[in-house]
Amino acid sequence: MKMKETAKKIQLTPLSTALKTPLIAALLVTVFVVSVMALHLDIAKFQSRLANIGKTLSHFVAFDIPTLPKALLEMLSSISLGIGALAIGSVISLALSFLAAANTTPNRFLAASIKGGIALIRAVPALVWVLMVIASIGFGNTSGLVGLLFPTCGYLIKSFIASIEDKGMGTIEALQATGAGWFEIMLFGVLPGLLTSLLSWTSMRLEHNIAESISLGMVGVSGVGSMLMRALGNYHYAEITTITVVIFVTMLTVELAVGQVRKKLNGDTTK
């Protein structure tokens, strides 16, 4: 019974676990190798291009100040699109998430169908939504807005529902006992305590929305994305760099700003 009396070597891990690690490792490597082989990567072409990458990249080391105002204006347009879709989307999401959260829904069937619909909407990439909308009602900012609404609502409703369900039944039951109506309970009972977390989700979504809205430009909606595509088409290296820098600086600013806003919001709740 006593292990120390046997002369056997002491294993650091029992054999069953000791075998598991190399097995998992072997499996992971196999999956990788098989995937790479199945892809038939055009490594040769890539290498030949890589050989003179220094020269190509040197073209990009340029900054075109005259494009800057135009780029900023187009960026503003992309930002506006992201904000606009977020504003409309958050109102829609607010209503739908209260109808869908398990603890606040007036009807279980309604809740299930909203949740199912959201799962489907979320599974379709934002860009595909926009392409479908463009196909239906033509190019333009309106298409961009409507197209962006889908992923915005998908994200917000899912997050909002999580926050609402986190609150549990307590408040609701208490107010139901007073004879308050559904709308009153939601507005005065549930919403106030949730405000910070909902705002927090919304501000987080802003980052995604602006990134998506920049990308939308590249498939036909106006904005800084389409400007970038034009610059690429014209082989205007300095302009490409300038636009990319504008995009980066904007996204970084948004990231930092959202971080600050969320810090403030969280600070409010911990006090």
Partner 1 sequence: MTQVLSVCDLRKRYGKFEALRGVDLDFEPGKFTVIIGPSGAGKSTFIRCINRMVDPDGGEIVFDSAHMEQLRGAALRQRRAMIGMIFQHYNLVARTNVLRNVLHGRLGYMPLWKSLLGAYPESEKRRALDLLDEVGLSDQMYKRADTLSGGQMQRVGICRALMQAPKLLLADEPIASLDPKSAEVVMEHLKQTTKQRGLCCIVNLHQVEFARKYADRIIGLKAGRVVFEGSPATLSDAVARDIYENAESRLENQLTGADIARIEDEERVALCETVAA
Partner 2 sequence: MRDSGGVKLTKTPPRVPAISIAGTLAVLVAAFMFLEVDFVELLSAFPAFIGFFAERFMPPDFSGFGEYLPLLLETVLFAVVATYLSSVLALVGGLLLSERTNSIAWLRFVAKVAFSVLRNVPYLVWAVILVYIFGIGNMVGLLALIFATLGLLSRSYAESLNEIAGSKMEALQAVGASKAQILVHGILPEFVPALVNWTLFSFEINIRASIILGMVGAGGIGIMIQTNLRLFRYHSALALILALVALVLLTEFVTNKLRGRVR
Torsion of CA 150, 229, 254, 160, to 10 degrees: 10
> In angstroms, what is the minimal distance from the CB of 189 to partner 2?
8
> In angstroms, what is the minimal distance from the CB of 84 to partner 2?
5
Phi-psi category of residue 179: left, alpha or beta, with phi > 0 → left and psi -120 to 50 → alpha: left
**Residues at the contact surface with partner 1, assessed by CB under 8 A:** 2-4, 9-10, 12-14, 17, 159, 162, 200, 204, 262-263, 266-267, 270
Please pick, from the candidates 23, 57, 62, 187, the single residue that binds partner 2 as defined by CB under 8 A: 57
Interacting stretch for partner 2, rule CB under 8 A, among 61-69, 99-107, 137-145, 153-161?
A: 137-145
The listed partner (partner 2, partner 1, none) that binds 132, CB under 5 to 8 Å by sort, is: partner 2
Per-position DSSP letters for 119-160, written without gaps between them: HHHHHS-HHHHHHHHHHHH-SSHHHHHHHHHHHHHHHHHHHH
Per-position b or e across 131-148, b if 16+ CB within 10 A of its CB: bebbeeeeeebebbbbbb
> In angstroms, what is the minimal distance from the CB of 99 to partner 2?
18
DSSP state of 187: I
Q: Does 157 sit near partner 2 (CB under 8 A)? A: no
Nearest to 160 by CA among 93, 112, 111: 93
The listed partner (partner 1, partner 2, none) that binds 204, CB under 5 to 8 Å by sort, is: partner 1
The listed partner (partner 1, partner 2, none) that binds 263, CB under 5 to 8 Å by sort, is: partner 1
Q: Does 83 sit near partner 2 (CB under 8 A)? A: yes
Radius of gyration for the alpha carbons in the chain, expressed in angstroms and rounded: 26
Q: Does 153 sit near partner 2 (CB under 8 A)? A: no
| Residue ranges in 89-118 that form contacts with partner 2 under rule CB under 8 A | none
The listed partner (partner 1, partner 2, none) that binds 124, CB under 5 to 8 Å by sort, is: partner 2
Residue 219: count other Cβ atoms within 10 Å of its Cβ: 17
Q: Does 244 sit near partner 2 (CB under 8 A)? A: yes
Please pick, from the candidates 18, 32, 62, 263, the single residue that binds partner 2 as defined by CB under 8 A: 32
CB 152, CB 89: distance < 8 Å: yes
